[in-house]
Amino acid sequence: MKAGKLLGLVVAAALLARAATATEWKIVKQNGRDYVSFANLAEFYHFGEYTHANRTISLRSERRGILAHAETNEIRINGVKFYTLFPLEMHGGESLISAVDVGKIVEPVLRPSRLKNAQKVDTVVLDPGHGGTDIGTKNAWGTEKGFALEVALIAREQLQRAGFTVEMTRSGDQGLSLEERVEFANRFNNAVFVSIHFNAGTGGAGVESYALAPEGVPSTQSGGHHAASADAQPDNGNAQDGHNVALTAAIHASVLSRVSANDRGVRHARFKVLRHIRIPAVLVEGGFLNDPGEGQRIATPQYRQQLGTAIAQGIQNYNAAVNYRSGNAGFTVARASLPAHSRSITEPLHAAPPVTPVAPEEPSVSISAGE
Ligand SMILES: [Zn+2]
């Protein structure tokens, strides 16, 4: 047997061993809910570096990073802020994250290619918020309905150029109900739905992006003006929770990497326009019209060009990430026996906070000798 082949077998055995140990979650009950420690999370997702000091938890590997502060409701994954579905807890000196957050946020963001039933996106349904007599919010320079439409038209152009079919819930100043938007979107298969809005309120400034809240999870407090319906009951859209979060994270990361704006995080809400959608869906709040600085920036064509381009790019990043390796005959085997590839949906945002760069490592090296 050649040395190369023997090495291959050794590496394969190491992979299998790792995969086997990696599946062990050590569940800790807190307030009747399942939690796991961040140390356990680091082990499962093969983060080589794990530190927990002064209530700051940091998980790092060559290309990925998670940062959290004990007993808050925020985590950063590869630099992007997410509101957790349940608060982070402490138990016996260990910082914990809920199993629901691991399944509904961490997993789809770190390993989007493992999402079940991921479809290649053919059609993008763009939904400029409001329209007609419903102007949304406004400032001295314009209306939400107008700005949202302009951003959507820019995104449409970019997406069509990239080969997608683009459907618009409105391409002019028509008024239509939330139900009509959802009904329209649900006509399309192999599609995603992107609702585009701008914010108003006392919340400050910045960009926030919403995925449908999973069943039984309270909505994140919204800085905005969009009516959410009651919590706790499951909705059609909950059938694709993982896809919703992956799409939301991909677009949010792309927007923040191109638009100079405050990161108000990936959030969860039960907005009517997200509840009954049967395709992956997101609602993007592209900034606060009533903030003096941001409101004026949104009124510039450059900002809307950047935002529309970023949304289009985010959709393409999502499509590439969820379909990574699909079509490969060995896909099922690879899923069962190999550790996750490190391709992450939020890769463009490496810079903040910085993930310490280390020498590039071959997978076989890091697995056998790296730790
Ligand atoms: Zn709106």
Q: How far apart are CA 354 and CA 366, in angstroms?
A: 21
CB 23 within 8 A of CB 97: no
- Helix/strand/coil for 248: helix
- pTM value is 0.82
Strands, E, within 155-306: which ranges? 165-168, 191-199, 207-212, 263-269, 281-288
| Signed CA dihedral, 155, 156, 162, 166: sign only | positive
Q: Which two tokens stand for residue 33?
A: 């809910």
User: Which CATH number is correct for 123-322, 3.30.830.10, 3.30.565.10, 3.40.630.40, 3.40.50.300?
Assistant: 3.40.630.40
Dihedral (CA of 366, 367, 370, 371) sign: positive
Q: How far is the centre of ligand 1, averaged over its atoms, from the C-alpha of 215 (Å)?
A: 24
Task: Give residue 178 CA to ligand 1 midpoint distance, Å.
Answer: 11
Domain segments of the chain as ranges: 17-112+332-362, 123-322
| 17-112+332-362 maps to CATH 3.30.457.10 | yes
CA of 35 to the centre of ligand 1 (A): 35
From ligand 1's centre to the CA of 311, what distance in Å?
Answer: 16
User: What is 285-334 written as a DSSP string?
Assistant: EEEETTSHHHHHHHTSHHHHHHHHHHHHHHHHHHHHHHTTTTT-TTHHHH
The residues whose Cβ lies within 5 A of ligand 1, an ion, are: 129, 136, 197
CA distances from 271 to 127, 214, 264 (A): 14, 12, 17
Report the separation in Å between the CA atom of 283 and the middle of ligand 1, taken as the mean of its atom positions.
9
Q: From the CA of 200, how far away is ligand 1's center (Å)?
A: 9
* Å from CA of 130 to ligand 1 middle: 6
Report CA(144)–ligand 1 centroid distance (Å).
Answer: 7
> What string of pLDDT tens digits covers the 371 residues of the chain?
444 444 444 444 444 455 555 458 999 999 899 999 999 999 999 999 999 998 999 999 988 999 999 999 999 998 899 999 999 999 988 999 999 999 999 999 999 988 988 889 999 999 999 999 999 999 999 999 999 999 999 999 999 999 999 999 999 999 999 999 999 999 999 999 999 999 998 878 999 999 999 888 877 755 444 545 555 566 788 989 999 999 999 999 999 999 989 999 999 999 989 999 999 999 999 999 999 999 999 999 999 999 999 999 999 999 999 988 644 432 232 333 333 444 555 554 333 333 333 333 322 222 222 22
- Tell me if 17-112+332-362 shares its fold with 123-322: no
Peptide bond into 353 cis (omega under 30): yes
Distance (Å) from CA 81 to ligand 1 centroid: 22
> From CA 196, how far away is CA 283, in angstroms rounded?
6
* Spacing, Cα 109 to ligand 1 middle (Å): 26
